Structure 1
Amino acid sequence: MQFPLSRAVAPSLEWRDSCPSTNADLVRRAEGLGDLAVLATDDQTAGRGRLDRVWSAPPGASLAVSVFVALEGGAGDPASGGPRALLGWLPLLAGTAMATAARRLGVPSAGVKWPNDVLVDGRKLCGVLTELTPHGVVIGAGLNTAMTREQLPVLTATSLHLEGAALEGETPSELLDRALAAYLDELTGLIGEWRAATGPAALRARVEPLLQTAGRAVRVDRPGLPPLMGTADGLADDGSLRVHPAEGDALTVSAGDVTHLRYE
């Protein structure tokens, strides 16, 4: 595949007809990668989501794309300041980039579910997985592109095809190129803003308008802790989710699975 739109945005794009895991491949090769190197495929055979969940899709029906974000001097300690202190925002920025790209493709209700999903009216369109290496961060995204209703892994998923994003007469490959180009364009811009940020305010302003979790009643399943029920009321300075339970003070959640308990 040629991908003229995507290569115009990301000249370092590497396309594979099939790949076990785009994230695992870039993590393995991180030391020798250039900044913003991209690896993508529409046939990922051993994909992973958060908490090592399996991520699979029929060949040609989805996009798996990973981007390497170099950190000057290596990944280092997040407490050392600069972009490293804002690493927790990268999954949210990637989700924001994909949600904005979906809107550009004609899916106006696409938004972000904390910390790393893109939803359309409560249905999952895309998931994001970031991995820190000694040399930088790998941002992976799995986007349902041409999936039919019968091909969806769960009833609560959706695809660009089902949301009407394909243009009349457009082939699945052309839709994939448009989607990949739009995502890489948005992500590159947001990574630039992340690198220039001196604090969380500018990043919060980019993410929160598309954050569908804010203001929702949520259940948060946290590792080793009882479920937390409450209302999500925004993002902390490190990108964590603030949840206000029915009784007591607000809590900050840095890791957990969030369920939206209602949709408006």
Structure 2
Amino acid sequence: MNLKNCIAFLLLSLINTSAFAQSESRNWNGKKCAVVLTYDDALNIHLDKVIPMLNSYQFKGTFYLIGNSPVVSKRIPEWRIAAKQGHELGNHTLNHPCDGSLPGRGFVTTETDLSKYTVPRAINEIRITNTLLNAIDGKTERTFAYPCGDLTIKDTLYYNALKTDFVAARGVSSGYANMKDVDFSNVNSFFQNGSTAEQMIAQIEEAEKKGSFIVFLFHGVGGEHALNIDLEEHRKLLEYLKKRKKDIWTAPMIEVAKYIRENQNK
């Protein structure tokens, strides 16, 4: 073997070794990647269908509750049971305010228009919701989810005043972040509407390929919301995650966020 061929062989070996090491990396609690299943808006379907399905596969989800939702006030004992089973109850504000000044926001009412809020009002309502959630599950650590993904009131990032109240805040922008680059004030998520299990599995496999994690953002699962995925597609997703438990860590948002914080600078 001449010198040129020898150098080429060594370079190829190094590349293959690096690729193998990356594919076999187990930085996510001993797994190749992490998956977080989040469900927004406190829907009846979450209690009636989603949580029983998650329990049957022994997975735990994160449910972002709207404080003033009747599905919260009328079903507190069931949410309390869900929390005891290991599901996370996250903060999705008191009134789910969204910025009504943005295009396509005809659904926003005068009372729930974030553009008409003051920052102190937003902070106060979010902290009231934390108090409510604490009364349900007894927990003091929690994560937050921005309604409609809106980060600002006028030009102010209102979450900046809440960073010590939460472990992390989930946004709505998709993307696969390296552990060291995770922004805890706006954690990426993959919004699902009409998605098939095949499409969602492909997103997981991309996260695994990149050695990253993925947060799924669901609303309706089998109905009750205009943003919806089919219940059977959701079941197929869980079936896949069950088969891949050796390599994929599925856990609530708070567990994954805390793990990232603990390991981000290692």
| TM-score where L is the length of structure 1 | 0.27
Greater RCO, 1 or 2 (C-alpha within 8 Å, sep 6+): 2
**Whose strand proportion is higher, 1 or 2?**
1
> Of the two, which has the highest radius of gyration?
2
**Whose helix proportion is higher, 1 or 2?**
2
